Chain A
Amino acid sequence: MSTKMQWVYTEKVKDHFVNPRNVLDDEDSFGADGTGMVGSMACGDQMLVAIKVRDGKIAECRWKTYGCASAIASTSMMSEMVTGMSLEAAYHITPKQITEALGGLPEHKFHCSVLGDKGLRAAIDDYLEKNGLENPFTKSVANIVCECVGVTDQAIEAAFKAGAVSYEAIQTATGAGTVCGKCREKTEAILEEMEHLYGKNHE
């Protein structure tokens, strides 16, 4: 029996967990151009992403996380992937791309990588705002509605289209609102919008 056999994640996840890249050692001396903090301690995942921007590209990406092994590994991986990337490309990086680069994560760990890309996006938003620049990216990406489970507005829309037309059905289909429940209002607002777009009895 070896520890290799016992490890529940891929070797890549283990590598990034044990040897995390680009950890933000000292926030003050780093001198970030933009920072983003996402997630909730109550859900067990909180992430801080700090970036330096040069010529419209991410020159450096540093991070900290209170989270599990896959949260640490996915943020570490994300920080490597986006370094040198244009702001636009970085803004559109998806949790799927991060998890694929890690060689996959168990399904129930997907929300950890969702928070990684959301943290980066929050840092880019912060950079643009601080520099008085218009944000041309926001409309083209999905927004997280349920932070605990990492459910986006796009996922809610897809579930609605597939027949989940009540709040309870959305909960069952996506997991949204099943932990702290604070996203209920946001989810119901999206449901209302969907009803307007597709009709109340859409199935």
Chain B
Amino acid sequence: MNSRFVYFDNNATTPLDPDVRERFIQALDLYGNPSSMHMFGRQAHEGVEWARGEVARLLGSLPEEILFTGGGSESNNTVLKSVLHPDFPRRKGKVITTAVEHPCILETAAFLKRFGVPVAILPVDSEGKIDMNRYVDELDDSVALVSVMLANNEIGTIQDIADIAKLAKQHGAYVHTDAVQGVGKIPVDVEELQVDYLTASAHKLYAPKGVGALYRRKGAPLFPLIHGGHQEKGLRAGTINGPSIIAFGCAAEKAGSLLDEEYIRLLRLRTKMRDGILASVPDVMINGHPEDVLPGTLDVSFFAAEGESILLSLDIEGIAVSTGSACATGSLEPSHVLMATGMDAELAHGSIRFSLGRFNTEEEVDYLLEKLPPIIERIRKMSTISRKEVHQ
């Protein structure tokens, strides 16, 4: 039995950083309700406000512009569903988003549509970048909100948010970016990006699950998704999750201090992994943008080998990855992101995402490069598609 475990699925979620874990455990003793006025409440409140400052520092915002939520999906839902509020400027104005967003954006956009909100879904090119010409065509003064993700969770492509925001502002539209995959991995500054709203999530930053942040520029309209309390300035009801938020603050502080060196280190590991796969496995395709890509995300399509078979074969060797193949998730439709890049369903079914993180090492990449080629070879030997067809 294999005794080695390698985690290359950091875009799905990250392990707890030991420092964050220690801070989290300490914070569990701050059991007071941060909304209470007594000493116990004040202690917890102090921790939450410290964390707010750390998250704000990582995003280049003011602490009062940070709202804590239950996670990335909740932050995204809060922004998008705000356009339904009667007091949202140009209520039922148009919403522009993209075909490669996370389902919590795409499904919320579909929900808005059912309420009569016009929604434009922008296509992307083969490298995952939005079609700027189409974007400009869709922009007019009826647009209420533009929501484009900063970096894609599957293929890692980074969008030109500052350019997108600049164009939107010319038409008076508000701009949101789902930056869940970008925060802590690439420099993220709300002033440089010129966005009005930005979503971040703690568990992508080596902190616990169940807590997210929503940056809201001062004065930008926002309405609560969850009613029933005065917490977070009345914008997000519910007892504040003090310990997780404090851990989030700790994670944000650490991500900020390690940003530059981790970017360089992960990019080096990604390059090694990419070059190693290209050198040892024939008939593969690297997905995503060649330069504007997350440093630790490598998405690869393997011709004539199905994704779930690759995933489970790697799992037997102790290597965890994820797949764009629908068969692994129970649906038969392959990844909407890969399909949006114009990839054939056949090829999308054979795609694997390797996402590296803070705790991955060069030795682990070597281990993958040792185990992967024979796995692909073995699966291809059983495949109905011959190598001959692949080359055609």
- Chain A positions within 8 Å of B, measured between CB atoms, are 1-4, 6-8, 14, 17-18, 20, 23, 25, 37, 41-48, 64-69, 71-72, 106, 108-109, 111-112, 148-149, 178-179
Chain B residues near A42 (CB, 8 Å)?
Answer: 344-346
B316, B344, B345, B383: the one within 8 Å of A65 (CB): B383
Q: In the complex, what's the smallest C-beta–C-beta distance from B115 to chain A, in angstroms? A: 22
Of all chain B residues, which has the CB nearest A14? Answer: B316
Give the B interface residue count (CB, 8 A). Answer: 31
Choose the segment among B27-35, B177-185, B254-262, B330-338 that binds chain A (4+ C-beta atoms closer than 8 Å): B330-338
Q: Is the interface of B mostly helix, strand, loop or mixed?
A: loop
Report the separation of the CA atoms of residues A169 and B337 in the bound assembly, to the nearest whole angstrom.
Answer: 29
User: Residue B318 at the A interface, CB < 8 A?
Assistant: yes
User: Residue B326 at the A interface, CB < 8 A?
Assistant: yes
User: Residue B308 at the A interface, CB < 8 A?
Assistant: yes
Contact B385 A45 (CB under 8 A): no
Of all chain A residues, which has the CB nearest B305? Answer: A66
Chain B residues near A45 (CB, 8 Å)?
Answer: 306, 327
Contact B312 A64 (CB under 8 A): no
Q: In the complex, what's the smallest C-beta–C-beta distance from A143 to chain B, in angstroms? A: 19
Contact A37 B5 (CB under 8 A): no
Contact B345 A66 (CB under 8 A): no
Chain A residues near B318 (CB, 8 Å)?
Answer: 3
Contact B309 A41 (CB under 8 A): no
Interface string of B289-332 (1 = CB under 8 A from A): 00000000000000011111100100110100000011110111
Q: In the complex, what's the smallest C-beta–C-beta distance from B130 to chain A, in angstroms? A: 26
Contact A18 B345 (CB under 8 A): no
- Chain B positions within 8 Å of A, measured between CB atoms, are 1-2, 5, 304-309, 312, 315-316, 318, 325-328, 330-334, 344-346, 349, 381-385
- 10 A-B residue pairs with CB within 8 Å: A3-B1, A3-B315, A7-B316, A23-B381, A41-B345, A41-B349, A65-B384, A66-B304, A71-B306, A109-B327
B1, B316, B331, B383: the one within 8 Å of A66 (CB): B383
Of all chain B residues, which has the CB nearest A9? Answer: B312
Chain B residues near A14 (CB, 8 Å)?
Answer: 316
Q: In the complex, what's the smallest C-beta–C-beta distance from B347 to chain A, in angstroms? A: 9
Q: In the complex, what's the smallest C-beta–C-beta distance from A200 to chain B, in angstroms? A: 30
Chain B residues near A43 (CB, 8 Å)?
Answer: 332, 345
Chain A residues near B383 (CB, 8 Å)?
Answer: 64-66
Chain B residues near A20 (CB, 8 Å)?
Answer: 382
Chain A residues near B344 (CB, 8 Å)?
Answer: 42
Q: When A43-B332, A44-B334 are in contact, do A65 and B1 touch as well, CB less than 8 Å?
A: no
Report the separation of the CA atoms of residues A149 and B333 in the bound assembly, to the nearest whole angstrom.
Answer: 11
Chain A residues near B316 (CB, 8 Å)?
Answer: 3, 7, 14, 18
Chain B residues near A46 (CB, 8 Å)?
Answer: 384-385
Contact A47 B382 (CB under 8 A): no
Residue from A48, A65, A109, A178 having most chain B Cβ neighbours under 10 A: A65
Of all chain B residues, which has the CB nearest A67? Answer: B306
A4, A8, A108: the one within 8 Å of B1 (CB): A4
Report the separation of the CA atoms of residues A78 and B331 in the bound assembly, to the nearest whole angstrom.
Answer: 24
Chain A residues near B304 (CB, 8 Å)?
Answer: 66
